[in-house]
Amino acid sequence: MEWTTDDRVSGVPGEVAVLSAYERRVLGALCETLLPPGGAIAPGAADLGTAGYIEALLGRLESRPRWLVRAMLAGFDLTALLGRPPEMFHRLDAEARHRWVEASRTSTLRPRREALAGLEVLVELAYASDPRVASLIGYDGAPLVPLDPAGPPPPVELPVIGYPEVVDARIVADVVIVGSGAGGAVAADTLARAGLDVVVLEEGPAVHRSDIVDHRPAERLFELYRDGGLTFTLGSPVISLPMGRAVGGTTVVNSGTCFRTPDTVLGAWEASGITSVGPDDMAPWFDAVDEVIGVQPVPEEVLGANGDVVRRGAEELGWSGGPIRRNIRGCHGHGVCAFGCPVDAKQAMHLSYLPRAAAAGARLFSGTRVRRIRIEGGRAAGVVADVLDPETGRRRGGLHVSARATVLAAGAIFTPALLARQHLARSSRQVGRNLVIHPGAGTTARFDEPLRAWRGTMQSYYVDEKLAGGVLLEATFPPPGLGYSAGSLPGWGRDKSLFALYPHMASIGSIIGDAGVGRVGALGRSGVAIRYSLTRDDAAKVLEGIAMAAEIFFAAGAVEVYPMLPGLPSIRSVAEVRYVREGRWRPSDLHLSAYHPMGSARMGASPAGSVVDPHGRVWDVPDLFVFDGSVLPSSCHVNPQITIMALAARMAARLADSLS
Ligand SMILES: Cc1cc2nc3c(=O)[nH]c(=O)nc-3n(C[C@H](O)[C@H](O)[C@H](O)COP(=O)(O)OP(=O)(O)OC[C@H]3O[C@@H](n4cnc5c(N)ncnc54)[C@H](O)[C@@H]3O)c2cc1C
Ligand code: SF4
């Protein structure tokens, strides 16, 4: 495509000025430095108005995540005062800025390194998702299998109520459920089908297929993820921990991978005294979930080049693995599963369990953020929620729900925060503790031949050779500039040469079965603080995952692999993989992201060491239940969504029996 400066744009519809003139100057200087004009891809960030686009995206967020970006901008700008001569970054000339950026990548000053890393992800995301840039590398977002000319089946119309249909109201129900994700949706279906009057309150917006089709993946990130995906743990290293915030919860934006909990894990939970969670007890619950959400192995025609490469490498090494089981019906391989499925193939909760629940009479509310649990006479009696304006996020009214049972399913970060804010369930002192997140690294490799690995299922092939050692690998390739790809290359090169080679890249993500060392606490009226420091044992597992990914890629014929370790930006042969294994790396050297929070209100056999009993009942508070990822007693070692769903179905069935 011929590109001219007349194509310049400044942002997206609905643009709002949210940065000060100073912050705009810093952002502009950073964009120009990271992505100057010329080189392998002609337009620079300044030519395309990337800074304006970033500001427009930030305009869609609430003030807290925006504040984080503003702090990173000012912080990074000021770090240059440590240079010679001392000067703020945005005041340096182009050459000095470039040198400062390069030195910052390997700086021993963590805030300097991490502020740059965070801002670089944002700049690359905005630049790469510009359709003019995407088309220069051949990305068109087309599915691998052509769509039926008659179009996809009609969209699912889910009856959801929100502002302005509801402003202030008092509602009475049998059960109120907080959150509509994997746990909340399955619970709503089970309880409503048992004949109970169920109300589901969800903070996020309702999602319709047309919202997904009409927006770029980067914009969907800012719409469907909490805080635009800018959620992190505090500790060493800082870990990105994105979560969904929508009707359907994180399942709307997840990759659709469905692993049953390994028998060894269920056996350990059972051995700890938790009744009816052994492999035989859980099998029927998993069967039922599989049926509702259409779990099946990725069909061969949508496995895509990324899955092919990983399969080839794993088979060459004789390692066990296979096409991933996913919740899909009619998948065409668009490869954008983590930004909402444009053809409703991925059977997220808003397309599977919630319509069933609604058909059985459950009432679903969007844009309603539960503020507190109502406690009357020592028992849970319902909740109080703020009704939010979907355009501004501002409070417009209040919803009081009275219920015989209150179910928390706000996810493993916000459920413990709700409990902690009101000092509930404190006797075991375990609320918010034992947080597991499955941290992992993305490892990218370059091949001679073009792969266009974005075509096909985003997460396609697994390698479980070392699952018993806590390392699971999954071939995962997101659209350009998003997800693993953004943080798993050592910069794009000043001439954007690495980015121009994106069609030649393949990528693997690792999942580590970590120790539950994280901790969640409530912060202010609705915020949270997530503390997590990677242990040395878990850091060793991450490094083993990177080394295994590199071995798979070299076995499949890769030219170069990017382990993203300080001083080791790339390796070029299988012999060099030993540098990954033998290096003296610290946890803070690792670039990590995590997608599976769990365990922060764990279930157990006795009130002494757990927050809920084996059926999700909060030990300390009658009529209060937790049915989400918080209850997992430990890491499940695999992607957790169907573990959460199967446990929620089992716990909700028990609750239905007790209320009927
Ligand atoms: C990018 C990504 C990819 C993933 N891929 C996979 C995968 O392929 N396979 C897999 O098994 N798992 C995957 N996961 C994880 C999986 O989706 C989650 O483990 C699962 O959805 C958690 O279920 P939950 O019910 O605990 O919480 P969620 O599904 O997160 O639902 C919680 C809901 O509660 C709402 N909420 C929070 N606070 C309040 C409040 N105060 N009032 C009202 N509502 C509130 C939230 O907005 C949210 O919608 C992925 C996660 C991410 C982020
Ligand atoms: S599930 Fe993912 S790969 Fe399949 S059609 Fe939807 S977005 Fe595309």
pLDDT tens-digit series, residues 324-354: 999 999 999 999 999 999 999 999 999 999 9
pLDDT band at residue 3 using 50, 70 and 90 as cut-offs: very low
Put the strands of the sheet holding 442-446 in their side by side order.
321-323, 459-463, 471-476, 505-512, 442-446, 560-562
- Phi, psi torsion values for 317, nearest 5 degrees: -85, -10
Please enumerate in sequence order all residues whose Cβ is within 8 A of that of 489, keeping only pairs 6 or more positions apart, or say none: 444, 498, 499, 505, 562, 564
pLDDT over threshold 80, residue 10: no
pLDDT over threshold 90, residue 13: no
Let me know: does 413 contact 243? Beta carbons within 8 Å: yes
Is 481 or 605 the better-scoring residue by pLDDT? 605
pLDDT tens-digit series, residues 450-494: 999 999 999 999 999 999 999 999 999 988 877 654 556 776 777
Residue nearest ligand 1's atom 41 by CA: 370
pLDDT tens-digit series, residues 612-658: 999 999 999 999 999 999 999 999 999 999 999 999 999 999 999 99
Q: How far is CA 444 from CA 73, 149, 280, 316, 456, in A?
A: 28, 35, 39, 19, 17
Query: Is residue 208 flagged as an active site residue?
Result: no
Q: What is the 3-state secondary structure (H, E, C) of 266-310?
A: HHHHHHCCCCCCCHHHHHHHHHHHHHHHCEEECCHHHCHHHHHHH
pLDDT band at residue 11 using 50, 70 and 90 as cut-offs: very low
Both tokens assigned to 2:
């011929």
Catalytic entry in 90, 350, 591, 596:
596
Q: What percent of the chain stands above pLDDT 70?
A: 97
Task: Tell which one of 250, 400, 510, 612 to mutate to probe ligand 1, the residue whose CB is within 8 A of the most ligand atoms.
Answer: 250
Residues whose beta carbon lies within 6 Å of some atom of ligand 2 = 256, 328, 331-337, 341, 343, 345-346, 457-458
Residue nearest ligand 1's atom 29 by CA: 181
Residues whose beta carbon lies within 6 Å of some atom of ligand 1 = 178-184, 201-204, 242-246, 249-251, 253-257, 338, 369-370, 409-412, 414, 459, 595-596, 628-629, 639-641, 644
Rg of the chain in Å (alpha carbons): 24
pLDDT tens-digit series, residues 504-515: 999 999 999 999
Helical segments of 360-480, H only: 411-421
Task: Please report the atom of ligand 2 found closest to the CA of residue 332.
Answer: 5
Domains of the chain: 1-136 (no CATH), 168-230+247-293+338-427+603-659 (3.50.50.60), 295-328+439-512+535-591 (3.30.410)
Both tokens assigned to 643:
């573990």
Q: Which residues pair with 624 in a beta bridge?
A: 406
For residue 82, give the nearest of 113, 61, 54, 51 by alpha carbon. Answer: 113
- How far apart are the two ends of the chain, measured CA to CA in Å? 65
pLDDT band at residue 357 using 50, 70 and 90 as cut-offs: very high
Let me know: does 515 contact 538? Beta carbons within 8 Å: yes
pLDDT band at residue 105 using 50, 70 and 90 as cut-offs: confident
- Counting every residue, how long is the chain? 660
Q: Tell me whether strands 198-201 and 560-562 are parallel, antiparallel or unpaired.
A: unpaired
Give the ligand with the smallest distance to the CA of 527: 1
For residue 352, give the nearest of 459, 256, 245 by alpha carbon. Answer: 256
pLDDT tens-digit series, residues 188-242: 999 999 999 999 999 999 999 988 887 888 888 989 999 999 999 999 999 999 9
Please tell me the distance from the alpha carbon of residue 248 to that of residue 353, in angstroms, as a whole number: 9
Residue nearest ligand 2's atom 1 by CA: 346
pLDDT band at residue 7 using 50, 70 and 90 as cut-offs: very low
pLDDT over threshold 80, residue 69: yes
Let me know: does 335 contact 482? Beta carbons within 8 Å: no
Please tell me the distance from the alpha carbon of residue 442 to that of residue 643, in angstroms, as a whole number: 24
Task: Tell which one of 596, 627, 644 to mutate to probe ligand 1, the residue whose CB is within 8 A of the most ligand atoms.
Answer: 596
Q: Is the full-model pTM beyond 0.85?
A: yes
Let me know: does 435 contact 600? Beta carbons within 8 Å: yes
Task: Tell which one of 253, 332, 352, 460 to mutate to probe ligand 2, the residue whose CB is within 8 A of the most ligand atoms.
Answer: 332
Both tokens assigned to 490:
């050592």
Question: Other CB atoms closer than 10 Å to residue 148's CB: what's the count?
Answer: 11
Q: How far is the centre of ligand 1, averaged over its atoms, from the C-alpha of 251 (Å)? A: 6
Average pLDDT of the residues of the chain: 93
Q: How far is the centre of ligand 2, averaged over its atoms, from the C-alpha of 340 (Å)? A: 8
Q: Tell me whether strands 379-388 and 368-376 are parallel, antiparallel or unpaired.
A: antiparallel
Give the ligand with the smallest distance to the CA of 344: 2
